[in-house]
Amino acid sequence: MVMDYLTGNWQKASASQIYAIPLINSLFSEVNPIPVKYALNKIGFDCGIPRLPLVELSDKNKAKIDNLLASCNNYL
């Protein structure tokens, strides 16, 4: 998205930003950094689990993030 913007393709950059809004919103579905760590682990970064007093992401939000990441992989 950033490279598209910097190379003058602001329409594609804008479309990517708009497409990513549901994923961005889901990363704030629970206390930070719980959803972010979950998403990073899912895409291959070894971030571990949140340290206490934080707990793992709820199953409901895991499913939501999984679906959004899958749809972003198809788009990006």
User: Which tens digits make up the pLDDT trace of 19-64?
Assistant: 999 999 999 999 999 999 999 999 999 999 999 999 999 999 999 9
* pLDDT for res 8: 96
Q: What whole-number distance in Å separates Cα of residue 64 and Cα of residue 38?
A: 11
* pLDDT for res 71: 87
Whether 51 contacts 40, CB under 8 Å: no
Taking residues 8-12, report their average pLDDT: 95
* pLDDT for res 56: 95
Radius of gyration of the chain (CA): 14
Whether 24 contacts 35, CB under 8 Å: no
